[in-house]
Structure 1
Amino acid sequence: MRTEIRDLEQVRAAEDLRGAVLVGLDLSGEDLRVPLDGALFLGCVLPPSGQRRADAAGALVFPNIPDVPYSVYRSALYTPAELFDGFDPARPESYADTPDARIYRHSRQQGHHPDPLHALAERLHDHAITEALDEVLDGSPVAVMGGHALGRDTPGYRRAVGLGAALGEAGFTVLTGGGPGAMEAVPLGVRVGEDPEVLRDLARAPKFGGDTESIGRWIAAFPTDLPRFDRPRTIGIPTWFYGHEPPNPACELHAKYFANSVREEGLLTVATGGVVYTPGSAGTVQEVFQDYTQNHYGSVGPAAPMVFLGKDFWVDEVPAAPLVQQLARGREAERWILVTDDITEAVGFLQAYSSA
């Protein structure tokens, strides 16, 4: 396991930097007269003598990539405060000046096929996010998938809050896609339960439109004093690919990606405690079959629970559940598929898997 170093004092105290990973450090004033064999310098500034020693030792030096509005070599997930830095609730239009909005605009300017420099920057960033997510997760997190279009004033939103409250009470770490609708309601329930006062206040800004001021009003309606836990229990995994949907403030942390395909695969892969599917549209249906493919072939470990919450929707309106059950017949995955309307039954099913 490589040692990661992000502090100059660690560098100065080190007698040996062989195999170390040094990230984002200004080393222009450092002597670096220690073994550097196999070291990895990510976004560091080296003096000419240090560069020569690194080259001679076979160290790899990845320079900073200029003119991008994000850190390519991150070591931590984003917090809502970081993504919304500079946002003034009294000026909803100020969302346009936040890091989240600036990064989205920059990504849009690059298009679907960025030039090699920006493509590399985005891939390095996404790799760093995956590493940071792996460091935060422990146990068997549960993911909840569902529609982004649920307004905060709808019964579906309140039901999703109730699901989050039940998952939180059971002690699960809960992952969502990190955006609005069910993706916001579930982590909100984990953190505050079914608090009627919070739900009433949020319902005053039920949705947002396509402009930054509308998004700002949606963010401004969110309470700022949500309880925190001794370890992160609510993590969003959103993407700037859908950057017109801001990350929700309900999640304690966000693993935000540029590549939606990496984000989708990663979200389902790390949900080792199972996935709950609430009613959604094409994106949710895609996730159903992507998840089942992992379970079918055992490509990322044992088959994990697939819970379809909402019988009428998943059996009749969008009959994905019967097809998944048919595909799973005779396989280990078959016993870990549940179709139900009962939140208590759904949470109990996940607990049974965790115990097993």
Structure 2
Amino acid sequence: MRIEIADAELLREHRDNGHDLRNVTLSTLDLTDPADDELLRTALDGALFLGCTLRPETQRRAHAAGALLFPIVPGLPYEVYRSRLYTCAELFDGFEPARPESYADTPDARIYQHALAQGARPDPLHALAERLHDHSISEALDDVLTGRPVAVMGGHALTRDSDRYRGAVELGVLLGKAGFTVLTGGGPGAMEAVPLGVRLGDRSGVDEVLAGLATAPRFASGSTVDAAEIGRWIAAGLAVDLPVGEKPRTIGIPTWFFGHEPPNPFCELHAKYFANSVREEGLLTVATGGIVYTPGSAGTVQEVFQDYTQNHYGSVGPAAPMVFLGHRFWTEEVPAASLVRKLARGRPAEQWVMVTDDAAEAVEFLVSYASVQ
């Protein structure tokens, strides 16, 4: 197992403890200062330098020792070798609520435009940079997840002034009270309503918050970005005063593949990817505490069967709960739950499939699973 170091102080501590740098990964460090360069005067066999700045003579010595050096990729609007997830403050840096069109100048919007410019088949340099970025995001996500996180899937089209949005907020309140770390796809609709509920902590302030959000209930869906409209939607969300705990309890996992839908302002952290396939599979895999499916469209149905495939074959561990919230929707309108139940018959996954209209019952089911793992 490689040791990964992305902080100069940790590197000094590692070396002070008498360890060399064989098979160690060092990421985004400027090691040109003589004192820092001295830390590299040790065995470097198999060391991996990701986006580090080294003295020329140190580069030659590292190459001679068999180390691999991945350089900084110039001209990109994002960090290739990240060691942390994104915050809303970082993604929306430069956004001015009084000028909603300023969303177009944020890192989130600029990175999306850069990705669009590469087309469906980016050249090898940009393809490699995006893959390395996404790998870094997965590593950073693993670093912050503890326990058995629960994911909530659902449609992006819920408007902030709808009854179903309120229902998703109340589901988030219950999940938060139960102590779960809650993951969503990180976008609008149900994906933002649930983390909002987690962070509110109770129902007492829901009416006031939803009244404020109703001033910007939606933004136009489609493949194009209306910066001003999205800016008004973001501004209404950022105006909500939410508590921040010591550890993040709400994590969004969005993608620039759907960059016309910005990340929501209620998740404390965002693991934002370029590759949607990596993002979707990753989200389903790390939700080891189970997944709640609220009504959605084709994307949510796809996630249902990706999730069930993992449970069916036990490819990522024991079968985890699949909770279908909305009995009529999931058994009549879009009968995915009925098919999952048939597929699960007689298998370990069978006992962990629930269809219900009761959010409290759904959360109790997830708690019961956590208690036996």
**Shorter-chain TM-score category?**
over 0.9
User: Is 2:230 aligned against 1:215?
Assistant: yes
User: Which of 108, 118, 121 matches 1:100?
Assistant: 108
Render the CA deviation track for 1:141-188: whole Å, top value 9, x for unaligned: 000000000000000000000000000010011000000000000000
8 Å Cα contact 2:149-2:287 kept in structure 1: yes
User: Which of 208, 216, 223 matches 1:205?
Assistant: 216
**Residues 127-142 of structure 1: pairs in structure 2 closer than 5 A:** 127-142=135-150
Q: Which residue of 1 aligns with 2:356?
A: 340
Offset at 1:19? 2.4
Offset at 1:122? 0.3
SS of the equivalent of 1:221 reads helix
Q: Which residue of 2 aligns with 1:312?
A: 328
User: Is 2:29 aligned against 1:25?
Assistant: yes
Render the CA deviation track for 1:177-207: whole Å, top value 9, x for unaligned: 0000000000000001332111110111100
Taking the aligned partners of 2:241 and 2:21, their CA distance within structure 1 comes to 43
Taking the aligned partners of 1:284 and 1:273, their CA distance within structure 2 comes to 18
Offset at 1:76? 0.4
Offset at 1:62? 0.6
Q: Amino acid of the residue matched to residue 62 of structure 1?
A: F
Taking the aligned partners of 1:91 and 1:165, their CA distance within structure 2 comes to 32
Spell out structure 1 runs of 4+ moving beyond 3 A: 7-13
User: Which of 155, 169, 174 matches 2:163?
Assistant: 155
Q: Which residue of 2 aligns with 1:145?
A: 153
SS of the equivalent of 2:151 reads strand
Offset at 1:2? 3.0
Taking the aligned partners of 2:12 and 2:313, their CA distance within structure 1 comes to 49
Taking the aligned partners of 1:201 and 1:346, their CA distance within structure 2 comes to 29
Q: Which residue of 2 aligns with 1:249?
A: 265
User: Is 2:253 aligned against 1:226?
Assistant: no
Taking the aligned partners of 2:8 and 2:188, their CA distance within structure 1 comes to 40
Offset at 1:27? 2.3
Render the CA deviation track for 1:24-62: whole Å, top value 9, x for unaligned: 122234243222222111001222210111012111111
Q: Which residue of 1 aligns with 2:296?
A: 280
Q: Which residue of 1 aligns with 2:49?
A: 41
* 303-312 vs 23-32, which moves further: 23-32
* 4-13 vs 346-355, which moves further: 4-13
Taking the aligned partners of 1:51 and 1:301, their CA distance within structure 2 comes to 42
TM-score for both structures, normalised by structure 1? 0.97
User: Is 2:307 aligned against 1:299?
Assistant: no
Taking the aligned partners of 1:130 and 1:51, their CA distance within structure 2 comes to 28
Render the CA deviation track for 1:302-331: whole Å, top value 9, x for unaligned: 110000000111011111110110111111
Offset at 1:7? 3.4
Taking the aligned partners of 1:226 and 1:275, their CA distance within structure 2 comes to 25
8 Å Cα contact 2:103-2:227 kept in structure 1: yes
Taking the aligned partners of 2:182 and 2:30, their CA distance within structure 1 comes to 37
TM-score for both structures, normalised by structure 2? 0.93
Taking the aligned partners of 1:225 and 1:310, their CA distance within structure 2 comes to 30
Offset at 1:12? 5.3
User: Which of 315, 327, 332 matches 2:343?
Assistant: 327
Offset at 1:133? 0.4
Render the CA deviation track for 1:86-136: whole Å, top value 9, x for unaligned: 100010000000000000000000111111000000000000000000010
Offset at 1:11? 4.5
Q: Amino acid of the residue matched to residue 327 of structure 1?
A: L
Query: In 2 relative to 1, CA 66–349 (structure 1 residues): closer, same or farther, beyond 3 Å?
Result: same
Q: How many residues align?
A: 356
Render the CA deviation track for 1:325-354: whole Å, top value 9, x for unaligned: 011111111110000000111001001111
8 Å Cα contact 2:185-2:252 kept in structure 1: yes
Render the CA deviation track for 1:270-325: whole Å, top value 9, x for unaligned: 00000000000000000000000000011001110000000111011111110110
Q: Amino acid of the residue matched to residue 132 of structure 1?
A: A
List alignment gaps of at least 5 residues for structure 2: none
Taking the aligned partners of 2:58 and 2:240, their CA distance within structure 1 comes to 46
Q: Amino acid of the residue matched to residue 179 of structure 1?
A: G
Q: Which residue of 2 aligns with 1:238?
A: 254
* 89-98 vs 59-68, which moves further: 59-68
Q: Amino acid of the residue matched to residue 213 of structure 2?
A: L
Render the CA deviation track for 1:224-255: whole Å, top value 9, x for unaligned: 53111221110000000000000001000000
Taking the aligned partners of 1:25 and 1:169, their CA distance within structure 2 comes to 40
User: Is 2:176 aligned against 1:165?
Assistant: no
**Residues 82-97 of structure 1: pairs in structure 2 closer than 5 A:** 82-97=90-105
8 Å Cα contact 2:209-2:240 kept in structure 1: no
